[in-house]
Copies of this chain bind each other. A is one copy, B any other.
C-alpha cells in the first residue's frame, strides 16, 4: 500500500497542472505559496489543504508611507572613529545601505541615542554632542585619540527579508517593501482589521502561515548591498521609543541604548547575556505573545488554522520560552538545515503539529548546472532522518519554485524516496517514542532551554570555522537515544534534577556556551563537583568551565583532569602520555576528527587517561572524580564516527557502560532507533556507501544486516 499525506508542496501561478501532477505522484496533502509566488486559483479546489503566507509587517507600502512614524526601527551603532583633535564628526549612515535604513530624526536623539567614548568606556554627556540633520553627522567634543561611537535609531525602510529575496533572486521591478510596527497603536488596529478582512475574503485558505509576527531578526546590509550583519537570534530590530517606554515601566529602571547595542556586538547569542538584555527579551516575549494571540484568535474565529514560520520575524516568539504556548498556534513550520535545526522545530510544545521544510529550496542557486540538488537533498535527509527518529516532525514540505524541481532530472524520484521513508517512520512508530537511555543528558550554558538546540549557532545551520567543532555535539545528540535537556547555571545552583546523569559544557572561553564569568560563581562549582563526586558524568568540549581565576583556566580542571596552557604554567613540566585503550574508542577505526581542535590542553592530576594527543597536547582525556567521571574533547564536529564516540563517552561518563548494548549496532556509520511499543527497529545507514552491521538486543547479537547506501531497514523486534 502506497502511503500518502504529511507533505506540503509549493506551487506558483503558472504551475497549476504540474502541481496537480506532482501532488498525485508524491501523495501531497497540502499546497502553499511562497514569497514571490502566487497560488493559482485552479488549485484552490484541489483535495488538499491550502496554506497562505501572511505578512503582518509588510506588503502594504501605502500604509507605511502614510504612517512613517510607525515604521519599524533598529538600533544601529556607527563606525568606531578615533578623534584626532578636540572635535569629531561621525557620519551615522556610513557603511549602511541607505535604501534599507534611515536615521530616525523624529524621536529625540538626546533621549534615545548614546555617544560613547570607547577608549575611556564612558558615555559622552548629551550636551557634548549634536546631531546635524543636514549632513547626517553627529559632532562630538572629544579627547584626542579616543575612539567614539554613536548608537542611534533608524527606520527599517526596506524589509530585510524582502531585500534579501530581492537581491538573491535578482528581482527588478518589485517595489521595496517598507515595514510597519504592529506593536504601535494605529498600525495594530489597522493590521488586525486587515487580517479579519483577509480571512473573510479568503475562505478557500485553510492555514494562515504567519511569516512570522512582528520583529525581524537582525539582518543589515552594507553600502554595497552586501550582508553586513546577520544574527538569527538578534533583537536589535525589535525596538522603538514606543516599546522602550513600556519596557522602562515594566522593568522599573531607565533604558539605555547600550542594552541593545552592546559594544557593537548587538547581544550576539555568544555573549553572556546581561541582566538588562534578558529582561528585554522577557518583556518582548510577553508582549509579542499577547499580540500574536490576538491574531491567532482572529484566524481561529474564521475556522482557519494559524501556523508560525520559525524564521524571519520570529523575534519575541522564542518557541521554548515561557510565553510561547499562550499564543495558541496550531502549528510551527521551519527550515531543516540539519538535525539540530530539525529538533529546534520538532521539540516545540504547545502546538498541534510541526512541519519541516526540507532542503534544498527550489531556488536557482542550487538548481543550476553546477548545483547538485539531489546530493544536497540526500545529505540533508541523512541528518534529518536520524533526528526525526528521536523527535519526529509531523509533516515535511518543500519551498521555492516548483518548476525548478519538476524539471530537474531525477529530483522528483528522490523526493518520492524521502517522503516515503518519512511516512514509514510514522507508520512504524505509531505515535510512540523511540527508546532512550534510562537517564537524561543535559547541555549546560547561559541560555538553557530558552534556546534549546540553538547553542553555538550564528545563523540557522550556517557553517562557520569557529563553531562547527561545537555544533557537532548537538548535531550528534539530535539523533541519539538520549533525552536531552538544556540547563542554565541558575538551574544548576537550584539543584541538578535526579534524572540527569551527564552534563555537557561545550564552547569557547568567554561565550554564553562555555559560560564566562558564571564559572567564577563558587556555588556553581560546588554543585557540579558534588554532582560528579556522587557518580555524575561531566563532558567538556573545547574550553569548558573556562575562566582565568585563582591559578586555573578551566575552573573544573579538578573534575575534568585537564587544563589549558595559557603560558602562565609553561614552567610547570607536564608528563602527558597517551593510552588509547579505552571503552570510548572500542569501535573506532579511523583517525578521530576534533575539528579545529582546541590547542594547548594538558592532562593533570592523578586519575586521568589520555586517549588521543596532538604532539604534546591532549585532545581526548577521561578522568575520574570521586564516584563520577569526566570526558574532555578538544572539539567534536559532526560525523557518524563522532556520534559513536559521543555515545560511548556519555555511557562511560554516566557509569552505565553495560546499558549501552541494550540496543546497539556495531558499525559506526549505522544507528538503531527502537520503538519498543510497536516492536519495530529502524536501522539506518548514515553513510553514502553500503555497510554491514550487527544488531544487538540486550547484549545479544540479534541479526546481521547488509545495508544499501543510506538505507533505512525496518527490523521486527521479536
Q: List chain A positions with a Cβ less than 8 A from chain B.
A: 80, 82, 84, 116, 118-121, 143-147, 149, 218, 222, 226-231, 234, 263-266, 268, 270-271, 458-459, 464-467, 508, 510-511, 522, 525-527, 529-530, 533, 548-552, 558, 565-573, 575, 596, 599-600, 615-617, 626
A467-B570, A570-B270, A572-B229 as given contacts; A144 in contact with B84, CB under 8 Å: no
Do residues A268 and B229 form an inter-chain contact, with CB atoms below 8 A?
no
Contact of A569 among B265, B552, B600 (CB under 8 A): B265
Contact of A573 among B226, B263, B270 (CB under 8 A): B226
The CA of A82 and the CA of B467, in the complex, are separated in Å by 33
Chain B residues within an 8 Å CB radius of A615: 465
The CA of A526 and the CA of B146, in the complex, are separated in Å by 7
Do residues B466 and A525 form an inter-chain contact, with CB atoms below 8 A?
no
Number of copies: 2
Do residues A571 and B510 form an inter-chain contact, with CB atoms below 8 A?
no
A549-B121, A626-B84 as given contacts; A458 in contact with B263, CB under 8 Å: no
Which 6 A/B pairs are nearest by Cβ-Cβ distance? A263-B551, A231-B571, A145-B529, A264-B551, A145-B526, A270-B567
Q: Which residue of B lies closest to A77 (CB)?
A: B551
Do residues B573 and A268 form an inter-chain contact, with CB atoms below 8 A?
no
Interface of A is mostly: loop
Chain B residues within an 8 Å CB radius of A565: 466
Chain B residues within an 8 Å CB radius of A530: 144-145
Do residues A146 and B466 form an inter-chain contact, with CB atoms below 8 A?
no
Contact of A268 among B80, B510, B567 (CB under 8 A): B567
Shortest Cβ distance from residue A458 to the other chain B in the assembled complex, whole angstroms: 5
Q: Which residue of B lies closest to A231 (CB)?
A: B571
The CA of A522 and the CA of B121, in the complex, are separated in Å by 9
The CA of A218 and the CA of B527, in the complex, are separated in Å by 37
Shortest Cβ distance from residue A213 to the other chain B in the assembled complex, whole angstroms: 22
Q: Which residue of B lies closest to A532 (CB)?
A: B145
Shortest Cβ distance from residue A501 to the other chain B in the assembled complex, whole angstroms: 19
A84-B626, A550-B118, A558-B147 as given contacts; A571 in contact with B263, CB under 8 Å: no
A465-B616, A551-B80 as given contacts; A144 in contact with B570, CB under 8 Å: no
Do residues B571 and A229 form an inter-chain contact, with CB atoms below 8 A?
yes
Do residues B510 and A566 form an inter-chain contact, with CB atoms below 8 A?
yes
Chain B residues within an 8 Å CB radius of A548: 510
Chain B residues within an 8 Å CB radius of A526: 119, 143-146
Do residues B570 and A268 form an inter-chain contact, with CB atoms below 8 A?
yes
Chain B residues within an 8 Å CB radius of A510: 548, 566-567
Do residues B567 and A119 form an inter-chain contact, with CB atoms below 8 A?
no
Q: Which residue of B lies closest to A615 (CB)?
A: B465
The CA of A699 and the CA of B617, in the complex, are separated in Å by 48
The CA of A572 and the CA of B234, in the complex, are separated in Å by 12
Shortest Cβ distance from residue A535 to the other chain B in the assembled complex, whole angstroms: 13
Shortest Cβ distance from residue A492 to the other chain B in the assembled complex, whole angstroms: 13
Chain B residues within an 8 Å CB radius of A626: 84
Chain B residues within an 8 Å CB radius of A508: 566-567
30 A-B residue contacts at CB 8 Å? A82-B558, A84-B533, A84-B626, A118-B551, A119-B522, A119-B550, A121-B549, A121-B550, A143-B526, A145-B527, A145-B529, A146-B525, A218-B571, A222-B573, A226-B575, A228-B573, A229-B572, A229-B573, A263-B550, A264-B569, A265-B551, A270-B568, A270-B570, A458-B571, A465-B616, A466-B600, A467-B570, A508-B566, A508-B567, A511-B568
Q: Which residue of B lies closest to A570 (CB)?
A: B458
A119-B526, A121-B549 as given contacts; A569 in contact with B268, CB under 8 Å: yes
Shortest Cβ distance from residue A262 to the other chain B in the assembled complex, whole angstroms: 8
Q: Which residue of B lies closest to A222 (CB)?
A: B573
Do residues A525 and B119 form an inter-chain contact, with CB atoms below 8 A?
yes
Do residues B145 and A568 form an inter-chain contact, with CB atoms below 8 A?
no
Chain B residues within an 8 Å CB radius of A525: 119, 145-146
Chain B residues within an 8 Å CB radius of A143: 526
The CA of A50 and the CA of B270, in the complex, are separated in Å by 67
Shortest Cβ distance from residue A696 to the other chain B in the assembled complex, whole angstroms: 38
A526-B119, A550-B118, A558-B82 as given contacts; A227 in contact with B573, CB under 8 Å: yes
The CA of A507 and the CA of B143, in the complex, are separated in Å by 29
The CA of A575 and the CA of B222, in the complex, are separated in Å by 11
Q: Which residue of B lies closest to A227 (CB)?
A: B573
The CA of A210 and the CA of B270, in the complex, are separated in Å by 56
Q: Which residue of B lies closest to A573 (CB)?
A: B227
Q: Which residue of B lies closest to A557 (CB)?
A: B80
Chain B residues within an 8 Å CB radius of A229: 571-573
Chain B residues within an 8 Å CB radius of A149: 551
Do residues A568 and B82 form an inter-chain contact, with CB atoms below 8 A?
no
